[in-house]
Amino acid sequence: MKILLVEDNEMNRDMLVRRLSRAGYIVESTTNGKAALEQMSLNRPDVVLMDMNLPIMDGWTACREAMKDSRLKTIPIVALTAHAMERDRQAALEAGCVDYATKPIDFPELLSKIKQVSEK
Amino acid sequence: MNSFDPTSLLSLLELLKCEYNVFEHELSEASKKDFSGIWRVGEYLRDLTSSENSKKDDHEIMNLLSALHGYIEILSEEFELENSAATEIMTKITTVINLTAERKMEVGSIKSEQEKLTKEYSTETQLNQLAGQILAVDDREENLVLMQRQLKTNGLQVVTASNGKEALKLLSDLEIDVVLLDLLMPVMNGMEVLQKIKGNARFRAISVIMISGQQDIAEIIKCIEAGADDYLFKPFNPVLLRARIKAGIDRKRWHDREETYRKQLELSERFIRTTFGRYLSDDIVSQILEAPEGLELGGDLREVTILMSDIRGFTKLTETLPPAKVVKLLNRYLEAMSDIVMEHDGTIDEFLGDAILAVFGAPRSNSDDADRAVRCAIKMQLAMKDVNQKNASDNLPMVKTGIAINTGSVIAGNIGSERRSKYGFVGYPMNVTSRIEDKTRGGEILVSDSTKKNLRDRYGMFSSREIKVKGLTKPLLVHSISWDTKRSRK
């Protein structure tokens, strides 16, 4: 199963890539919303994990863009919100994310969310 | 809003590094990589503290913490660290991260709560909710009509006056929140009206907004010095007018609310005084009101002198007398006796039927606690004559009281639950007093030896005797104090 991780923070990205790979996923990563959309259409990942505060194109916009695209809107996007703020999470869901995880990431919970959304 | 301080995390990382150097050679390549991730996060965190200019936003911080959290989790999942010190440090780091995240979560939810509230109460709705009464004062009819029209659309009630005299009349007749006052008016100008408003205690809280032309700024400054709350230049912008009025109404409402609180406070203080006043003397009530923290539950051990009195054979009396008479007799007796206890700065712990339990030396102790108790007892016995005279004229039976006094250490404090507590006393000396009381004859004052030792003044001791007290193996030495001057002279 392929996961696309969109995260601009180098350390967080590195850590998550390593953890997810060890959990048995094929992980690709990118650092902004625009690149994420390109990757989504090119590699067609099963699940996208996306930080919302991204450079060039933020996560919310990328998510809305994906929802407009009939080919991309079937790929589930899970938002990773740095701020543990209700508002950010709400905005992520409104933009079309299927679920969210707050940082610091509870990894077992993230794994179960990935499993859940990929099975739908 | 940036409450995050990485210092504790940095020192934990420093410690972890020391341990790491010890076991580094045992680690697999993958684990070494994970550790190097941790050190990198540490470097970034250090950058955050050292350089002022670095971006220190929440997003960045949470990313770093999240990465650190993740690396530590990987390490603790994937291999058993032999080094328990390192494990402990890592657990601590995780705890610090979780606490920081929780705090951010709280701050975040408070923020969004506030945002929600601000959204719900836009200026417009708030203005409607406040719906205050406005008085507009201007000598020119067309100005008044204009203001009235502008404000009415906002749901505000507007009354108008064309001169100062009229304005003052309306102020005393109506409940006005805000006055819009034109500066230049014939007969009584705006400044004079303002002085009349601010000089009157009843009107002082009303917000006054001065209205003038821009050229009159010097006069406006004088008005503000004289107590005007705000000002507006003509021709005024309706939005600005609304905003100023809203602020004025708010101010007035604040004042009104404060006034209500003050009144409530006064009421509750009066209530406390009358309620507690039945049991405690005035200065003790004042002491409690001034230092309410002293009312916390809890207690302290202190030496007090305990006085207990009751009417001999009262239970038998209640069997023969109609209830109304019993209550009359009892109230007359208790009222006379409690007045005397208060006079002597005693604290009445309880009325138990006809018995009075009073304590001297709490909440405040004095060197003459024992003396005051004895003087109080003597006065109580003397007052019985008056009580009995009144009883006789009401066709009530004569009664005699016995008083026991004992000194010892008791626990004093607010005893009970949060819901219901009273300043009370517990301790063995309380029980001993009650036992002595059992042995007291009508018209007698019995003082325990411990009280006698505390007395500074001399009193005519009648006689000493030993009594057997339940629970005590040794008999107790008590002294009967003479109080009837006639009898003691004999």
Q: Tokens 């965190």, residue?
A: B45
- pLDDT reported for residue B291: 64
Residue in chain A closest to B78 (alpha carbons) equals A22
Which range is most confident: A19-23, B282-286, B419-423, B483-487? A19-23
Tell me the mean pLDDT in the region B112-137: 58
- The neighbour count for residue B171, using CB atoms within 10 Å, is 22
Residue in chain A closest to B71 (alpha carbons) equals A15
Q: Identify whether B235 is preceded by a cis peptide bond (ω within 30 of 0).
A: yes
Alpha-carbon distance A20 to B449, whole Å? 84
Nearest Cα neighbor of B245 from B117, B116, B153, B119 is B153
Q: Does A22 touch chain B (CB under 8 A)?
A: yes
Q: What is the DSSP letter of B294?
A: G
- B155 token code pair: 């749901």
- pLDDT reported for residue B142: 79
Coil, helix or strand for B415? strand
User: Count of residues for chain B?
Assistant: 490
Q: Report the alpha-carbon angle A40-A46-A47, nearest 5.
A: 80
Residue B488 binned pLDDT confidence (cut-offs 50, 70, 90): very low
- CB contacts of B62 in chain A (<8 Å) are 82-84, 103-104
Task: Please state the φ and ψ torsions of residue B189, each to the nearest 5 degrees.
Answer: -80, 175
- CB contacts of B71 in chain A (<8 Å) are 15
- The neighbour count for residue B26, using CB atoms within 10 Å, is 11
Q: Does A9 touch chain B (CB under 8 A)?
A: yes
With the C-alpha atoms ordered B110, B115, B120, B121, is the resulting torsion angle positive or negative? Answer: positive
Coil, helix or strand for B174? coil
Q: Left if phi > 0, otherwise alpha if psi is -120 to 50, otherwise beta: which for A4?
A: beta
Residue in chain A closest to B66 (alpha carbons) equals A104
In tens, the pLDDT along B432-475 reads: 999 999 889 889 999 999 999 998 888 877 788 888 877 777 88
- pLDDT reported for residue B489: 39
Residue B382 binned pLDDT confidence (cut-offs 50, 70, 90): very high
- B355 token code pair: 């018995």
Nearest Cα neighbor of B369 from B433, B282, B424, B304 is B304
Residues 6+ apart with CB under 8 A from B108: A83, A84, A85, A86, A87
Confirm if B292 and B363 have CB atoms less than 8 A apart: no
Confirm if B181 and B134 have CB atoms less than 8 A apart: no
Nearest Cα neighbor of B408 from B294, B296, B304 is B304
- Give the nearest partner residue to B112 out of A15, A86, A102, using CB atoms: A86
Q: Which helix (H) or strand (E) is B161 found in, with range?
A: strand B157-161
Q: What percent of chain B has pLDDT over 70?
A: 81
Residue B478 binned pLDDT confidence (cut-offs 50, 70, 90): very high
- Amino acid identity for residue B299 in this structure: G
Residue in chain B closest to A23 (alpha carbons) equals B74
- The neighbour count for residue B200, using CB atoms within 10 Å, is 13
Nearest Cα neighbor of B354 from B317, B398, B382, B381 is B317
- Amino acid identity for residue B262 in this structure: R
CB contacts under 8 A, A 26-85 vs B, are 51, 53, 82-85
E strands in B104-145: 133-137
- Give the nearest partner residue to B70 out of A16, A85, A87, using CB atoms: A16
- Give the nearest partner residue to A15 out of B37, B58, B108, using CB atoms: B37
Exposed, middle or buried, B135 (CB in 10 Å: 0-12/13-18/19+)?
A: buried
Coil, helix or strand for B421? strand
Confirm if A39 and A69 have CB atoms less than 8 A apart: no
Exposed, middle or buried, B188 (CB in 10 Å: 0-12/13-18/19+)?
A: middle
- The neighbour count for residue A102, using CB atoms within 10 Å, is 22
Evaluate if residue B118 carries a pLDDT over 60. Answer: no
Task: Please state the φ and ψ torsions of residue B418, each to the nearest 5 degrees.
Answer: -55, -35
Domains of chain A, each with CATH number or no CATH: 2-119 (3.40.50.2300)
- Amino acid identity for residue B247 in this structure: A
A15 and B62 within 8 Å at the Cβ level: the answer is no
Coil, helix or strand for B250? helix
Question: Distances in Å between the alpha carbon of A60 and those of A57, B66, B468?
Answer: 8, 20, 89
In tens, the pLDDT along A78-117 reads: 988 865 566 777 788 888 888 888 887 888 888 888 888 8
- A6 token code pair: 């969109």
Q: Which helix (H) or strand (E) is B141 found in, with range?
A: helix B141-152
Alpha-carbon distance A36 to A48, whole Å? 9
Task: Please state the φ and ψ torsions of residue B360, each to the nearest 5 degrees.
Answer: -115, 125
Q: Is the ipTM of this complex over 0.90?
A: no
Residues 6+ apart with CB under 8 A from B17: B39, B42
Evaluate if residue B109 carries a pLDDT over 90. Answer: no
In tens, the pLDDT along A48-67 reads: 999 888 888 888 888 888 88
Residue in chain A closest to B59 (alpha carbons) equals A82
Residues 6+ apart with CB under 8 A from B238: B150
Evaluate if residue B122 carries a pLDDT over 50. Answer: no
- Mean of the per-residue pLDDT values of chain B: 80
- B194 token code pair: 């303002």
Q: What is the DSSP letter of B236?
A: P
For an interface test with A, give the residue of B59, B65, B96 to mutate (most A CBs within 10 A). Answer: B59
